[in-house]
Structure 1
Amino acid sequence: MADRPRAAGGPGATLPGLSGPLRFLLLCSFLIPLGSFMVLPFMSVFLYERLGMGLGTVGAVLAVASLVQFSGGIFGGALADRIGLRRTMVWALVVRTAGFGCFLLGLRWPPLAVAALVLTCCGAALYLPANKAYLVHGVDDEQRPAFLSAGNAALNAGMAMGPLIAGPFVLSSPGPLFLAVGALFALITAGHARLPAPGDGRRGASAAGQGLLTGVSVLPFAANALAFYLYFHFQHYLAVYAVERASSRFYSVVLLVCFLLVIVVQPLASGVIRGMPYALALALGFAGLAAGLAVLAIGTRPALLAGGALITLGDIVLFLKNDLEALRRSPRSDAVVFGQQRLAAGLGACAAGVLGGQLYGLAQRAGDTSRFWLLAAAQCLLLPPLLLTLRGRTAAPAPADDDMEGTPAADDAHGRVPGR
């Protein structure tokens, strides 16, 4: 093991001799968002211009799809706890491959395009908790930030490249594009079917009797929901604001810079973030969000770039630390914990869509949309202190089962699983 590669996770952090399955999983962490983001970012334009749906209908479809993709992760985590990580990933990819196949049929019958979008989002919801849990299975606590950051870097690289590759073809040649993406997902599914089972599904029938939110770490759950709520002010409404003041091309540049920051900075900072006290991480993360949102209110091109960068840096700290803290505090399996955190993300993103939309509309009617960003920045300062009331709280675990004594599940319920 002397030649194990160094990881960009802070001083002394390493990725210990990545096995073939983990290398494949990291490659797929790039290929899956690459394929997905060759299609999904263009859905509003595709449904509106190519299939002739009304904007109100398009908005409703995208809202439902987003909620399914994020909040459905809690069912993905529960499924992985019941049938295992590998089998869950395979079934999730089968669903997603079928979704991209339905996009082809949707070119002739638009309702199938809506079904295709929902299917792909269901597949994503099922896949991600199992993917993250497989990536950190058997990894000790010191190494988890490096592994999670490597996966996040691959994810963001795929998200950044997908739109650049597919942009010229979505409206002009959608059929070949959907066919190519569907074929890519079919190959990825076949590869996942050959992965070794990582000794998962260790809770068996006992896990099946637990509620979806049993053992949830209340503070990391609430902090994640709040972080996504505030971040999605930026995600949902920057496009309208930036195109109005610059151009759609410049908006793409801002997003590319944000993706690159996650790819480069999060792996480098993962070790520091892991060792950071949770209260300090929350303070720094929300302060970064507040600063970035306030800078956006200036409205110039440099301000758009700087604001996006500050928001991304804040989220790099918040999203990783919340996941690590949830894993540390919860007695549940990794897959269930990641699913619970995805539910929090979905609730936050949905709230941003509903409440943020109303606030942006008010600012727009008042003739000054910069006020929207200042109000969002103020929320970054006023809302996080409410999290202090949740400190140390965790939902009650399921009742202990005498038959579980001495088993890995029993050890986990008492907080003694290695690497937790």
Structure 2
Amino acid sequence: MTDLPSRTHPRRSAAKSPRERTWKHLSPLLRLLILTQLAFNIGFYAVLPFLAAHLGTAIGMAGWMVGFVLGLRTFSQQGLFVVGGWLVDRYGVRPVVLVGCVLRIAGFAWLGDAEQTWAVIAAVLLIGSAAALFSPAVESEVARQAVVWEEKGHGPRTRVLALLSAAGQAGAFVGPLLGVLLLAVNFRTACLAGAGVFVLVLAGHLWLMPQHIPGRVRTRKRGGVGALLRNRRFLALCCAYGTYLLAYNQLYLAVPDEVERVTGSQAALSWLFALSSLLVVLAQLPVTRWAGDRLGLRRSMGWGLLLVAAGFAVVATARLANWTGIPGLLPAAGYVVLLTLGQMLVVPAARAWVPDLAEDGRIGLYTGALSSVSGLIVLIGSSATGAILDLGLPAAIPWLVLATVPVLAVALLPHRPEKAESAAAAER
């Protein structure tokens, strides 16, 4: 069962660009939520990319402690997504988003002044816990509203979710640029600016977010987790999505190692991250429009995972040739491009699939579980990847192993119900 039934309608004429047409037909609530995602990432990325350097230099933490603090932030965020999703189903979107904003404001303000280890840890836990509240709220409501948008005949729901992804990546691109400017003053100023962004988001939601969203069912009864754990199709989706996230995580694990190997430093990493963000901002909507018209959700995820596998294979091939210097960066750039193209297919499709698999009134729980279960897969997979990289195997072997994982994940993808498949075929 789902919060809303899924069906598609014939395509409308495209007099305007995909981005303009999609934005024009969005409800005020959807526009608010998508702009919220943009603001979230601007505030977040204005601070967090520079946290490790601040902890190591300004505060003087040991390297292992810096890694521990960063790991705590990730755990408090991804691990608690399922809790945040459950709270959204029980209490509604508005209160959960508002509490999340308050926690993020407090966390950033505290982090700017924190000098002792316990204070840094407490501030970072607040920051991570805040995201575990507002992210499932925003993502689940956008997914639910995207189904409504689709039902009204505006096109596949993936277009709305693609706009959410593009907004998030735009924030991820702008945030570090803002952070660099603010760090010219000091780290505390960057933290206060990040807190200021969330003050604006809090004020906007207090003013604009309705107390009750029509069609959103609040679930007062307990439970839901047991049914989720028995939902094999949803867990299969989580495994496939977790495989993509594991591949994306190599931007922080295997790719820095490769960049340093070929150039002697990691200076080029920032350019590769910028390349990924710009690709999503510029191409997400056209790619999603094409995929929605021709592929459907399952095939979009399948082709996306195969593109990710091809990215790993490109680096493996270059490793065999032992490229170095500037030419040696080309395979890493190719991996980033192929990974990002895969991301543009996988992420909107996975998020759009959740409403079809969730129980009535449990879309928040399932949206949060998608992130939490996938995050657990990344934790286990990243540990295995690190162990493989440390084994001293021939240079191409770790990348070939990584390439096989997304290929195998394609087989895990569940089949959509016959009704949804036939509707998607009619749309194409």
TM norm. shorter chain > 0.5 = yes
Task: Quote how far apart the aligned CAs of 1:67 are.
Answer: 2.5
Contact 2:42 2:175 survives alignment (8 Å) = yes
Task: Quote how far apart the aligned CAs of 1:204 are.
Answer: 3.1
Task: Quote how far apart the aligned CAs of 1:256 are.
Answer: 0.8
Q: Which of the numbers 121, 139, 143 marks the counterpart of 1:132?
A: 139
| CA distance 1:326–1:27, change in 2 (3 Å) | closer
Contact 1:13 1:146 survives alignment (8 Å) = no
Q: What is the letter of the counterpart of residue 261 of structure 1? A: L
The answer as to 2:226 corresponding to 1:209 is no
Partner of 1:115: 122
Contact 2:314 2:335 survives alignment (8 Å) = yes
| CA distance 1:48–1:271, change in 2 (3 Å) | same
1:392-413 superposed Cα distances (whole Å, 9 cap, x missing partner): 79xxxxxxxxxxxxxxxxxxxx
Q: How many residues align?
A: 383
Give matches, 1:4-403, under 5 Å: 8=18, 14-106=22-114, 108-135=115-142, 136-137=144-145, 138-140=148-150, 142-167=155-180, 169-170=182-183, 173-194=186-207, 195-197=209-211, 198-199=213-214, 202-206=217-221, 208-211=222-225, 214=228, 216=231, 217-246=234-263, 247-275=265-293, 276-297=295-316, 298=318, 300-332=328-360, 333-363=362-392, 366=393, 369-381=395-407, 383-384=408-409, 387=412
Q: Matched residues in 2 for 1:281 and 1:26: separation? A: 22
Q: Matched residues in 1 for 2:351 and 2:32: separation? A: 23
> Which stretch of the first structure deviates more once superposed, 28-37 or 230-239?
230-239
Partner of 2:8: none
Task: Indicate the SS of the match to 2:46.
Answer: coil
Q: What is the letter of the counterpart of residue 47 of structure 1? A: L
Q: What is the letter of the counterpart of residue 166 of structure 2? A: A
> Which stretch of the first structure deviates more once superposed, 167-176 or 283-292?
167-176
Task: Indicate the SS of the match to 1:320.
Answer: helix
Q: Matched residues in 2 for 1:212 and 1:180: separation? A: 42
Q: What is the letter of the counterpart of residue 313 of structure 2? A: A
Q: Matched residues in 2 for 1:180 and 1:69: separation? A: 21
Q: What is the RMSD of the two structures over their aligned residues, measured on CA atoms?
A: 2.9
Q: Matched residues in 2 for 1:296 and 1:375: separation? A: 12
Contact 2:258 2:332 survives alignment (8 Å) = no
Q: Matched residues in 1 for 2:296 and 2:167: separation? A: 27
Contact 1:326 1:337 survives alignment (8 Å) = yes
Task: Quote how far apart the aligned CAs of 1:385 are.
Answer: 5.4
| CA distance 1:171–1:46, change in 2 (3 Å) | farther
1:101-133 superposed Cα distances (whole Å, 9 cap, x missing partner): 111221x32321222112111111111121123
Task: Quote how far apart the aligned CAs of 1:296 are.
Answer: 2.5
| CA distance 1:7–1:18, change in 2 (3 Å) | farther
| CA distance 1:321–1:235, change in 2 (3 Å) | farther
| CA distance 1:210–1:293, change in 2 (3 Å) | same
Task: Quote how far apart the aligned CAs of 1:37 are.
Answer: 0.5
Gapped regions of structure 1 (runs ≥ 5): 394-420
Q: Matched residues in 2 for 1:209 and 1:91: separation? A: 23
| CA distance 1:156–1:243, change in 2 (3 Å) | same
Q: Matched residues in 2 for 1:345 and 1:374: separation? A: 22
TM-score, length-normalised on structure 1?
0.82
1:262-304 superposed Cα distances (whole Å, 9 cap, x missing partner): 1222211223333524443343122111111122342512222
| CA distance 1:236–1:171, change in 2 (3 Å) | farther
Q: Higher relative contact order by CA 8 Å / sep ≥ 6: 1 or 2? A: 2
Q: Matched residues in 2 for 1:84 and 1:113: separation? A: 31
Partner of 1:399: none
| CA distance 1:350–1:172, change in 2 (3 Å) | farther
Task: Quote how far apart the aligned CAs of 1:375 are.
Answer: 2.2
Task: Quote how far apart the aligned CAs of 1:145 are.
Answer: 1.3
| CA distance 1:285–1:101, change in 2 (3 Å) | same
Task: Quote how far apart the aligned CAs of 1:336 are.
Answer: 2.4
Contact 2:315 2:335 survives alignment (8 Å) = yes
Q: Matched residues in 2 for 1:7 and 1:343: separation? A: 35
Q: What is the letter of the counterpart of residue 31 of structure 2? A: R
| CA distance 1:157–1:25, change in 2 (3 Å) | same
Task: Indicate the SS of the match to 1:94.
Answer: helix
> Percent of aligned positions with the same letter in both sequences?
23
Q: What is the letter of the counterpart of residue 310 of structure 2? A: A
TM-score, length-normalised on structure 2?
0.81
1:38-67 superposed Cα distances (whole Å, 9 cap, x missing partner): 111222222222211111122222223212
Task: Quote how far apart the aligned CAs of 1:81 are.
Answer: 0.3
| CA distance 1:379–1:248, change in 2 (3 Å) | same
Q: Matched residues in 2 for 1:386 and 1:23: separation? A: 36
Contact 1:4 1:15 survives alignment (8 Å) = no
> Which stretch of the first structure deviates more once superposed, 320-329 or 193-202?
193-202
| CA distance 1:348–1:6, change in 2 (3 Å) | farther
Task: Quote how far apart the aligned CAs of 1:373 are.
Answer: 2.0
Contact 1:157 1:259 survives alignment (8 Å) = yes
Task: Quote how far apart the aligned CAs of 1:205 are.
Answer: 1.6
1:158-181 superposed Cα distances (whole Å, 9 cap, x missing partner): 101211221355486111111121
Contact 2:313 2:403 survives alignment (8 Å) = yes
1:326-383 superposed Cα distances (whole Å, 9 cap, x missing partner): 22232244322311211133113212331121122224xx5x55442222113333x3
Contact 2:92 2:218 survives alignment (8 Å) = no
